[in-house]
Amino acid sequence: MKIRFLPLCAGLLAMSAMPAALAQSYTKQAELGLAATGETFSIGQTQYRIAPAAQVKRADAATDPRRDVVVGEYVVEPKAAAANARSKRAVDAVAGNGLGAAVSANGRAVVVAPELNVYFSNASVVDALVRETGGTLLYSSAAGGKATIGYASLAEAMKARQRILGKAGVKEVSPRLVQQRRVAW
């Protein structure tokens, strides 16, 4: 039985390279999608899931839009989520500058402010909601039926959201998304 040297070497080389080829490598956008294990919320028809461990910071000169997850003027750095991240502790883990990240069902990343948009049918409920949840009233319009309540962190805002949902006179409650600025040149 004659074994040829060249095919044997090629086979050994292919087998040694196989584990590297099978190793999973994710883009930061995919990592953020995997890290989105927190609480869900809807705005209109779009559903989002909080990425509790993600860090949001302002984009700078070192930001690479091809590599980093850039949302408007912010860059989102995905961090690995804990194994049991869908627990209440996952919401408590959101910290830092108050901003957080969420991922929509189609994979689009958004930056979430520590504020709640509250849509109401009765303006008298707004002051009570602010007192009950420990927030700060940032904006209120009885004519428009909308108020914005601010909190120290996204975790606090999400806890307050749970308390506000279902209150009499409240139509809808959702975290405020930080919109990308559009500048006309």
Domains detected in the chain: 23-83+96-177 (3.30.70.80)
Whether residue 113 contacts residue 178, with contact meaning beta carbons closer than 8 Å, is answered with yes
Q: Which ranges of the chain have pLDDT less than 50?
A: 18, 20-24, 82-95, 183, 185
For 114, other C-beta atoms within 10 Å of its C-beta total 23
- pLDDT value of residue 44: 87
Q: Would the pTM of this model clear 0.75, i.e. be above it?
A: no
Write down the pLDDT at residue 23.
42
DSSP string, 76-142: EE--PPPTTTTSHHHHHT--SSS-EEEEETTS-EEEEEEEEEEEES-TTHHHHHHHHHT-EEEEEET
pLDDT at 72: 85
Separation CA 173–CA 52 (nearest Å): 20
